[in-house]
Amino acid sequence: MASVAFLGLGVMGYPMAAHLKNRGGHDVTVYNRTTAKAEKWVAEHGGSYARTPREAAEGKDFVFACVGNDDDLRSVTIGSDGAFQSMKKGSVFIDNTTASAEVARELGEAAKARGFSFLDAPVSGGQAGAENGVLTVMVGGEQAVFDHARPVIEAYARMVGLMGPVGAGQLTKMINQICIAGLVQGLAEGINFGQRAGLDIEKVVEVISKGAAGSWQMENRHKTMKDGKYDFGFAVDWMRKDLKICLEEADRNGAALPVTALVDQFYKDVQGMGGNRWDTSSLMARLQK
């Protein structure tokens, strides 16, 4: 059993912290900017909550975070009330936020200078993956630190992989998002085409999902796309944040991302339709307006 802090009890963090406590059996202290959520978490799961990241992280073996973007992450780490101000030597900070590889490297250096370790560990699997404790975790950091942290991370994961040095976890998550962007647009075009052709989409998917066109998105999203339902899942605002990170990284490494850049603009259209919090499968909505 380890002493653990978890910073950020959002859609993802709330159930992840619960798995660390209930499945992992760890001693968990939570922090959330809006304290009411931390109070609710403690009422449901026990443990304790702190008023600042600094207070939550003090004396802990492992400190997890799952907040919004680079700036939020800097605020809960190197900010004046941030976790980095109180972390003990030899401890590990594990960041589950989807952020840039640059901020991961910056925080990795800052952690090293203070005598503790940093792993970037973004996740894939969505709200359901977090609630069921079956996330995929893409980790960047040193092998020995990874080996030490892995059994703790496994409380909320089905797959945990070390991808390379600090930053490599975020780079892997970028590839994940690049692959999804074009795929979801292709799926939306296919379903829209099928509906206009007068075919039974369920029947079409039942057959083609077993062939070369099959995908997680097809299996899990075709029904709601067919019905025009998007009020759940991974928000368009978050996807645009992620695609911006991908496009900026591609500017640095020279990779061409023409389809990703185009799909990013399609998501901008969806935001214009009021779809900021709609699931990413709402690319379909643009084709049917």
Ligand X SMILES: NC(=O)c1ccc[n+]([C@@H]2O[C@H](COP(=O)([O-])OP(=O)(O)OC[C@H]3O[C@@H](n4cnc5c(N)ncnc54)[C@H](OP(=O)(O)O)[C@@H]3O)[C@@H](O)[C@H]2O)c1
Q: How far is the CB of 200 from ligand X (least distance, A)?
A: 30
Residue 199 contacts residue 192 (beta carbons within 8 Å)? no
**Considering 21, 37, 173, 226, which one is annotated as catalytic?**
173
CB-CB neighbours of 109 under 10 Å: 12
CB-CB neighbours of 107 under 10 Å: 24
32 lies in the binding site for ligand X (CB under 6 A): yes
Applying the rule CB under 6 A, the residues between 33 and 52 that interact with ligand X are 33-34, 37
Alpha carbons 263 and 258: distance in angstroms, whole number: 9
Q: Taking contact as CB under 6 A, which single stretch among the options 119-127, 194-202, 205-213, 269-277 is the one that binds ligand X?
A: 119-127
**Longest Cα pair distance anywhere in the chain, in angstroms?**
64
E strand segments, 108-188: 117-120, 123-124, 135-140, 157-164
Binder among 123, 152, 184, 283 for ligand X (CB under 6 A): 123
Applying the rule CB under 6 A, the residues between 173 and 212 that interact with ligand X are none
Site string for ligand X, 55-74 (x = CB under 6 A): -----------xxx---x--
Residue 89 annotated to the active site: no
Alpha carbons 62 and 2: distance in angstroms, whole number: 7
Residue 103 contacts residue 111 (beta carbons within 8 Å)? no
- 60 vs 240, beta carbon nearer ligand X: 240
Q: How far is the CB of 254 from ligand X (least distance, A)?
A: 25
Applying the rule CB under 6 A, the residues between 234 and 273 that interact with ligand X are 234, 238
Applying the rule CB under 6 A, the residues between 1 and 20 that interact with ligand X are 8-13
Alpha carbons 276 and 280: distance in angstroms, whole number: 10
Q: How far is the CB of 4 from ligand X (least distance, A)?
A: 16
Quick check: helix, strand or coil at residue 231? Answer: coil
Which residues of the shown chain bind ligand X in the complex (CB under 6 A)?
Answer: 8-13, 32-34, 37, 66-68, 72, 75-76, 97-98, 123-124, 126-127, 234, 238
